[in-house]
Structure 1
């Protein structure tokens, strides 16, 4: 949602989520710091403000303020395309695992941010802790339901 402020400009904020191809967790965790630096650099080039961001083991959450001159789809094409090339340039061994030099999966999730910006910021900050807590609650040991039955 774009909000006009002081009749001179606009504030356009978006919650965006995207994933690496095949949700590859191991490789993603190994290159996390480089990915953060690349995303920050590319956003700075386009004048996009990162309000909040968090890298999960298999996806990225961003709360961005994108200038009106860019559509969300054109910016995301730029961000995912350029970051893929930069990641493969920094880590040449990845091109054997990904083959076609596409680091990110197709598509992304986007929603506009209106008056609930605080709620979205809290969600992005706290999501990893919430996921870890849920994983700890579900530590039930499962047995083989069809194995070793006596008649």
Structure 2
């Protein structure tokens, strides 16, 4: 089975490591809140066609390793994940919204994202192999 996925006009493997935190990095992501956040992330990622490879919700931050189709931008995905999970968490756990420091925002403003790519040496070998393969086929 190939690690690449296919769309109608693209073959892709776009994996990202994304990290974000609750507002003020409060340590609230435990128990039922943690379960709700995990369920929301899985559900909303799936709706956008993303595949979660790893998800780790810790007390004060979330790690997500996810394959994202090229038609979905990371900023759109994060807007959906952070926005919709906040709405669901605040609706389910109303006592969080009563705290004056939230201001109707569960998550801090930013996030960290890093691409998880293939090994550069492996790509160089592949390109070199393709060059040699084309030369052989041309003869």
Whether TM exceeds 0.5 here: the answer is: yes
TM-score by length of 1: 0.68
In 1, distance between residues paired with 2:4 and 2:51?
A: 17
Change (3 A) 1:91 1:5: closer
Q: Is structure 2 residue 113 aligned with structure 1 residue 110?
A: yes
Q: Distance in 2 between matches of 1:94 and 1:22?
A: 14
Q: What TM-score do the two structures reach when normalised by structure 2?
A: 0.73
Give the whole-Å Cα distance in 1 for the aligned partners of 2:49 and 2:10. Answer: 17
| Secondary structure at the counterpart of residue 107 of structure 1 | coil
Separation in structure 2 between the aligned mates of residue 49 and residue 33 of structure 1, nearest angstrom: 18
Partner of 2:13, secondary structure, is: strand
Partner of 1:28: 29
Q: Which residue among 91, 96, 99 is the counterpart of 2:98? A: 96
Cross-structure match for 1:134: none
The superposition leaves residues 45-86 of structure 1 with CA deviations (integer Å, 9 ceiling, x where unpaired) of 111110111112211111010111111111111110111111
Q: Please list every run of 5 or more consecutive structure 2 residues that lacks an aligned counterpart in the other structure.
A: 120-139
Structure-1 residue corresponding to 2:67? 65
Name the residue aligned to 2:87.
Answer: 85
Name 1:146's counterpart in structure 2. Answer: none
Segments of 4+ in structure 1 off by > 4 A?
A: 3-8
For 1:99 and 1:112, locate their aligned partners in 2 and report how far apart those are by CA, in whole Å. 31
Conserved in 1, the CA contact under 8 Å of 2:54 and 2:64?
yes
Which residue in the other structure is 2:131 paired with? Answer: none
Computed over aligned residues only, the root mean square deviation of the Cα atoms, in angstroms, reads 2.1
Provide the rounded CA distance (Å) in 2 between the counterparts of 1:81 and 1:5. 27
Taking the aligned partners of 1:115 and 1:72, their CA distance within structure 2 comes to 19
Structure 1 unaligned spans of 5+: 117-151
